Amino acid sequence: MSSRRKSRLKRAGKNELAPADIVDGLSKEELLATHLDWQPDRLEALKGLLDAKEPWPEHWHWDWSKKAGLLDFMAYRCIGIECEGRMQGLMMASTLARSSRVGPTGRAVLYVEYIESAPWNLKDLVDEPKFSGVGIALLEAAIELSEEEGFGGRIALHSLPQSEAFYRKYMTDMGPDQSHEGLCYFEMSAEQARLFLEGGK
Amino acid sequence: MKVMRMSDELFLKRAAEEDGCMISAVGLQPLHAKKAESGQQLGEPIRFAFSTLISYRRRALRMTMEDVAQKAKVELDELLEIEENLSYVPEVRTVHRLADLLKLPIPQLLVLSGNAKAATAELTEAAVRFAARSRAVEKLNPEQSNALNEFVKVLVEQKGKETVKK
């Protein structure tokens, strides 16, 4: 059963916060409901990109409904951020610890299997995105989950090319990983996690 | 209720930096999906199963790390490495001592600890299943106790089946 805790998002284009909820432990049904909610906006944006002869984002072949099967395993947790009645972003993390490749190697890290923002929050897809900070709020939740699991706030993920600049600000870029189709592997150490949450250099 | 550690001011700054950019990340090969492949490629889940097994078994027997270190004559530092460092391969002697104390079969524990290879896929698959069902929380809930009991049952059933030394 999912649980909620307070979070926030930034209204795009304004220096203003909107109250939001981190929804932890989403069920398959909630995941599918979000997928269905996002689909019309995805298709609309896709149509616009096709009309403009623009390439579409590389993660569009993702189907969260296909990822729902992972939730049969206790080790997978799906976390969403909800604002104004709609899910604004989704993340699935594996608590099946992997070894860190940064700093003291071999320490357990929380691996983020998937992360995505709702289509209406992406400026590549819509002229006026609704909310910003979905990635920040979900990374914050991932760090908290890592701490809760005893992984010291360490997290890791493989970024799609168009998202690398975002992760490079806060995580160590370990470069292309040939075992993951050449996607860049990023890792956040315990110290980077602390700096991410508390600021400072 | 958890308190958000990032201040609103810092959140606004970071959210402005994000500025509606793509944040997509994708793990292409969930670890449990690899179970059909050879055991050699399952190193991390198997090693994770070993750490988790030692930790769960210790807690099921209501022992602290200090208790185990003292009774098994293992350094506390080494026990910490065993439970937390997935790249640490303990000495065979240490594995024997832990197996004795925690009443776990030695050959299977040698496989899980990285000191021997499994002769059959059954053990590696059970280890991956156990790892995927496990989460590192302080107190075992009934579901975790069941996962532990099922895995220990597989280990005991494997007793007598050969393992191959590395």
Cross-chain CB nearest to A75 (options B18, B29, B134):
B134
pLDDT class of B98 with cuts at 50, 70, 90: very high
pLDDT of B47: 81
Chain B residue numbers with beta carbons less than 8 Å from the beta carbon of A140 are 4-6
> Closest approach of chain A CAs to the CA of B12, in angstroms?
6
Tell me how many degrees the CA angle A112-B142-A150 measures, rounded to the nearest 5.
35
> Closest approach of chain B CAs to the CA of A9, in angstroms?
8
Overall residue count recorded for chain B in this entry: 166
pLDDT of A104: 74
Chain A residue numbers with beta carbons less than 8 Å from the beta carbon of B5 are 140, 197-198
Structure tokens at A103: 């700093």
Beta strands in chain B, from DSSP E residues, in sequence order: 25-26, 116-118, 163-165
Tell me how many degrees the CA angle A59-A60-A61 measures, rounded to the nearest 5.
95
Chain A residue numbers with beta carbons less than 8 Å from the beta carbon of B10 are 198-199
The answer to whether B89 contacts chain A (CB < 8 Å) is no
Handedness of CA B113, A188, B59, B97 (dihedral sign): positive
Closest CA to B117 of B126, B125, B108: B108
The answer to whether B88 contacts chain A (CB < 8 Å) is yes
| Residuewise pLDDT in 10s, chain A (201 residues) | 789 999 999 999 899 999 999 999 998 888 888 988 998 888 888 777 777 777 666 655 566 666 776 666 667 889 999 999 999 999 999 877 677 888 777 788 899 989 999 999 998 888 899 999 999 999 999 999 999 888 899 999 999 888 999 999 999 999 998 877 788 999 999 999 999 999 976
pLDDT of B139: 58
pLDDT of A77: 87
CA distance from start to end of chain B: 49
In this predicted structure, the answer to whether residue B34 has a pLDDT above a threshold of 50 is no
Q: Do B5 and A95 touch (CB under 8 A)?
A: no
In this predicted structure, the answer to whether residue B159 has a pLDDT above a threshold of 80 is no
Query: Range with the lowest mean pLDDT among A49-63, B22-36, B86-100, B101-115?
Result: B22-36
pLDDT of B151: 79
Q: Which residue has the higher pLDDT, A185 or B148?
A: A185
Contact A22, A142 (CB under 8 A): no
A149-182: burial string, b at 16+ Cβ within 10 Å, e else: bbbbbbbbbbbbebbbebbeebbbeeeeeeeeee
| E strand or H helix that includes residue A86 | strand A86-99
What pLDDT, in 10s, does the model give residues B68-82?
A: 999 999 988 888 888
Alpha helices in chain A (DSSP H): 28-51, 64-67, 134-148, 164-168, 190-198
- Between the alpha carbon of residue A28 and those of residues A64, A71, A78, B28, B136, the distances in Å are 9, 7, 9, 20, 23
Closest CA to A188 of A115, A84, A83: A115
Q: Do A163 and B6 touch (CB under 8 A)?
A: no
